[in-house]
Amino acid sequence: MNWYIEAFKQFNNFIGRSHRTAFWSFMLVHLLLTAIIIGVEIATDNPGWLDLIYSLFTLLPFLALVVRRLRDAGFSPWWLLLVLIPGAGVLVLLIFLAQPTRLSFAKGASL
């Protein structure tokens, strides 16, 4: 839960790096909360406003975290645009996000 809160504290930091633990911990909590919200919406016959509000609330912290994670894995943040390719783009991006930290970036090499 600490990594989830930390992502919100650094919602405007697109420059730094985020380790795999930070990214995947955020994703776990995010997906659990999304599942709970969707369950509440189904149980209450809600048209989806809660999920929309939550998604908009988490969009900027999520994007910042993905950009920092790509940089930590040694990829350009522009690789985030892979999500625009239907199907395969998201899969390739997930593979990039699962890569370990690149040592050259960990030692402070220039970006």
Mention every residue, 6+ apart, whose C-beta is less than 8 A from residue 73: 96, 97, 99, 100, 101, 102
Q: In this structure, how many other beta carbons lie within 10 angstroms of the beta carbon of residue 90?
A: 13
pTM metric for this prediction: 0.84
Give 81-99 pLDDT, tens digit per residue.
999 999 899 999 999 999 9
User: In the prediction, which pLDDT does 48 show?
Assistant: 82
Give the start-to-end residue ranges of the domains of the chain: 2-106
Task: Measure the CA–CA gap between 23 and 50, rounded to whole angstroms.
Answer: 24
pLDDT in tens, 12-36: 999 989 999 999 999 999 999 999 9
How confident is residue 61, by pLDDT bands cut at 50, 70 and 90? very high
